[in-house]
Structure 1
Amino acid sequence: MTSYRQPGLVLTDRRFTVPLDHADPEGEQIEVFGREAVASDRSGDDLPWLVYLEGGPGFGARRFVGRQAWLGRAVQEFRVLLLDQRGTGNSTPANRQTLPLRGAPDRQADYLAHFRADAIVRDCELIRKRLTGGARWTVLGQSFGGFCATHYLSTAPEGLRTVLITGGLPSLHATADEVYRAAYPRIRRKVEAHYARYPQDVERARRIAAHLREHEVALPSGGRLTPAALQSLGILLGSGEGTHQLHFLLEDAFVGTPEGTALSDAFLENVQAVLSYAGHPLYALLHEAIYAQGKGPTAWAAERVRAEFPEFDAEKTLAGDAPLLFTGETVHPWHFDTDPALSPLRETARLLAEREDWAPLYDPARLAANEVPVAAAVYHDDLYVDTAHSLETARAIRGLRTWVTDEFEHDGVRAGGPRVLDRLLALARGEI
């Protein structure tokens, strides 16, 4: 363990050894990293624990500097564990560089099958017992972290003192196809709202897409920028400042050169920063698997379902005069052709998409009998998580209290500072 200080905080880096497969506790072990954060003036106090589960899948816990965002509110009364879920951050990595150590793609896919919410929750339970001596802790789950928290309530509620969920109440039953069938109309609404705010971006987006249709364009990493990849910039529209970020990115895309007009280096660098999966490859590899519950393979659901919404086809759009529609957090087979961080894992991704033996993640009967205080922020028309699905699940979890708001987008727990966490704690405690 290593301890050090930031303004107002004492931080301690902790590493935990856990089984790769919890059904085989004596088998292969991996490492999970967590960063403890406690208020500097309370570092010696006996405080209850709160574990933070980041969104994703595939993202390590957010790296805070001092008492930023919700963390400042949390350390007023908790000792916080910012957990890098298995395969992310400083935990044992899973990426194009390390996965070949597992062997052929089929071995890699078998390995990655142990990186869903069920294994993450089992990790949490081992870690909780080691840290707290068996005391219950509070879970704060953002986005996919809320999916994990819902699984936690389904399988190990005895470890939970309180559960707080932000933008992450999953459907208990929906298949990946149903998730994306609900998503595409929602994505379209976000794009239309963006163009209503920034009408000049309609022509800009079409012009860039037309250029990409006519030219081979490489990103600085060597990846290829295609019209479909350009559309993926719509992932920005799920955050509070995302519409503005997208506008600023598009506004100076072109530059004059001796060979004629080209996309500028600055534009391509900024696009790469948004689109590259180098820092979070598990997001692409496992994104559809987080919805799989023994109802057959996901089989590239986002790609298949998109065919039901031809208005998202860039080629058809450019053949007419309609605005180019961006997409959201959808992952497609072509990602594994255009992104150098993913292309070595193309066959592994295919095998995961074809996999059928995914275990169910939620227990509706146990959730209906829930006794753990639960509060959830549901963001109205959230780009990433369907509001109707979330509210259906909220009704299925006994005692859960919701805060439905359009004040924030999906990143409300970060953008809202301490307010979101403060509201959820008050809801869970029956103070409001």
Structure 2
Amino acid sequence: MDTSRYRLDGHDVLEHRLAVPLDHADPGGETIQLFAREIVRDGNAGKPYLVWFQGGPGGRGDRPAQLTGWVHRALRDYRVVLLDQRGTGNSSPADALTVTARGDAAAQAAYLAHFRANAIVADAELLRAELTGGEPWAALGQSYGGFVITAYLSAAPQGLREALITAGLPGLSTPAEQVYRLTYAKTARRNAQYFARYPDDQRRLREVAQHLAGTEELLPSGERLSPRRLRQVGIQLGADRGFDALHYLLEEPFVTVNGTRRLTRAFLADAGAILSYAGRELYAVLHETIYAQRQATHWAAQRVRSEFATLAEDADPAWPATPYYLTGEHIYPWQLREDPALAPLADAADLLAAKEDFPALYDARALAHNEVPVAAAIYVDDMFVPFELSMETARSIRGLRPWITNDYQHDGIRTDGEHILDRLIALARR
């Protein structure tokens, strides 16, 4: 392992680079680079390690400019390891440039199939052996990071001294279709709450959608903003401050130029920042695979969507009898062809959606016999990770101590991280 270091506000920062197998079933085969940034507060060199599993999939580890929030709290008790999960950040990034270099769509899909939670756990175990000399470490996971920790508790619980999860307890064997039925229902509920707070925004949204149906408007990425792409700004509904962000986006979307009504450049720039997956390609391509266990997803979000009239793709914004709602954390096959950042990977994504033999990620028997202290924050109104599935899994992990609250949306760790982590640590150690 190669390590470099520097100083940051009374802390040592160590940057680790480690070669790991692309396929852990073939340890002598191709390798990729794993990157992790370790932060150690002065005087805490003897503290245990805590590894952070970022949300996603496809999200890189945090790059804190200031050591605040959950990181500040964690550094009281731990040496903090910010891991770039494979394919993200400095860990052999998997994006449209690097993945298409592997060959045709089949070669790309075969490569990307190695980037799921089971491989991330195996990577973490190799890194732990290098850093701790074999001693177990603590783990903190947000959203998809909690999925990774659940896989960790299933496959390598001996590597964990305690596990802390926020907004990230997955269904252990729930098919993708059922996950999306639950998330669509919660998305519709969040829409109703949003438009109840900002009633005029329903009218503005309909006006923008009708305008886009007849007028070409381009996002900064170069893609045409279609009505169905517009509705994907609803991913903001799942954030603590998402209602306000969407209201500010829609408050003045139009400008009249030489008698012609157009969308403002500011609106298109702000919408584009939400909609474009440039630099986040792995998230879109792998999103449904996180629910694939011994069966294909076949683009479940697209198939299930038609069951919800207010979210249906063919909903008419000019028809006032049915509310016109925004979608949430849902990825669609057409989206990969409309977004220029994703288009090179669209065929590979189709192959992943049809892949029948993804292995199971969670071991119900191992979880039922768990001995690792586990604490999990479960948010009642979470739009991305359904409360029902989280509670079922909480009951399935022996000794798990849940903190059930509706004080936060999915990104609570970002808005009140110091308090949330402090409570989880106390709960795990009670």
Is TM > 0.5 for Structure 1 vs Structure 2? yes
Aligned-partner Cα distance in 1 for 2:9–2:131: 24
Partner of 2:383, secondary structure, is coil
Q: Does the 8 Å CA contact 1:311/1:317 hold for their aligned counterparts?
A: no
Given residue 320 of structure 1, which amino acid in structure 2 is its aligned partner? W
Partner of 2:234, secondary structure, is helix
Matched residue, 1:330: 330
Shift in Å at residue 141 of structure 1? Answer: 0.6
Counting only pairs closer than 5 Å after superposition, residues 357-368 of structure 1 correspond to structure 2 as 357-368=357-368
1:42 correspondence with 2:29: no
1:224 correspondence with 2:235: no
Cα deviation code 1:39-97 (max 9, x no counterpart): 1x225x21100000000001101221222210000001100100010001111011111
1:247 correspondence with 2:254: no
1:121 correspondence with 2:121: yes
Matched residue, 2:15: 13
Cα deviation code 1:210-230 (max 9, x no counterpart): 111112221111122111111
Q: Does the 8 Å CA contact 2:210/2:318 hold for their aligned counterparts?
A: no
Aligned-partner Cα distance in 1 for 2:101–2:216: 33
Matched residue, 1:307: 306
Partner of 2:328, secondary structure, is coil
Aligned-partner Cα distance in 2 for 1:344–1:95: 10
After superposition, the Cα gap between the structure-2 partners of 1:9 and 1:204, relative to the gap in structure 1 and judged at 3 Å, is farther
Given residue 4 of structure 2, which amino acid in structure 1 is its aligned partner? T
Q: Does the 8 Å CA contact 2:289/2:353 hold for their aligned counterparts?
A: yes
Cα deviation code 1:24-45 (max 9, x no counterpart): 0010000111111121x225x2
Partner of 2:69, secondary structure, is coil
Matched residue, 1:177: 177
1:139 correspondence with 2:112: no
Which blocks of at least 5 consecutive residues in structure 2 are unaligned? Answer: none
Q: Does the 8 Å CA contact 2:299/2:332 hold for their aligned counterparts?
A: yes
Shift in Å at residue 308 of structure 1? Answer: 1.2
1:279 correspondence with 2:279: yes
Matched residue, 1:316: 315
Given residue 417 of structure 1, which amino acid in structure 2 is its aligned partner? G
Matched residue, 1:65: 65
Matched residue, 2:349: 349
Partner of 1:131, secondary structure, is helix
Q: Does the 8 Å CA contact 1:8/1:67 hold for their aligned counterparts?
A: no
Aligned-partner Cα distance in 1 for 2:349–2:313: 24
Q: Does the 8 Å CA contact 2:37/2:83 hold for their aligned counterparts?
A: yes
When normalised by structure 2's length, the TM-score is 0.97
Partner of 1:409, secondary structure, is coil
Matched residue, 2:398: 398
Partner of 2:349, secondary structure, is helix
RMSD: 1.1
With 364-373 and 313-322 compared, the bigger mean Cα shift is at: 313-322
Could you list the structure 1 runs, at least 4 aligned residues long, displaced by more than 6 angstroms after superposition: none
Partner of 1:3, secondary structure, is strand
Partner of 1:293, secondary structure, is coil
Matched residue, 1:198: 198
Which blocks of at least 5 consecutive residues in structure 1 are unaligned? Answer: none
Shift in Å at residue 259 of structure 1? Answer: 5.5
Aligned-partner Cα distance in 2 for 1:127–1:311: 47
Matched residue, 1:387: 387
Aligned-partner Cα distance in 1 for 2:14–2:227: 45
Q: Percent identity between the aligned chains?
A: 51
Aligned residues: 427
Shift in Å at residue 319 of structure 1? Answer: 4.1
After superposition, the Cα gap between the structure-2 partners of 1:359 and 1:314, relative to the gap in structure 1 and judged at 3 Å, is closer
Aligned-partner Cα distance in 1 for 2:274–2:67: 26
Partner of 1:316, secondary structure, is coil
Matched residue, 1:86: 86
Partner of 2:130, secondary structure, is helix
Shift in Å at residue 417 of structure 1? Answer: 3.1
Q: Does the 8 Å CA contact 2:306/2:313 hold for their aligned counterparts?
A: no
Shift in Å at residue 314 of structure 1? Answer: 5.2
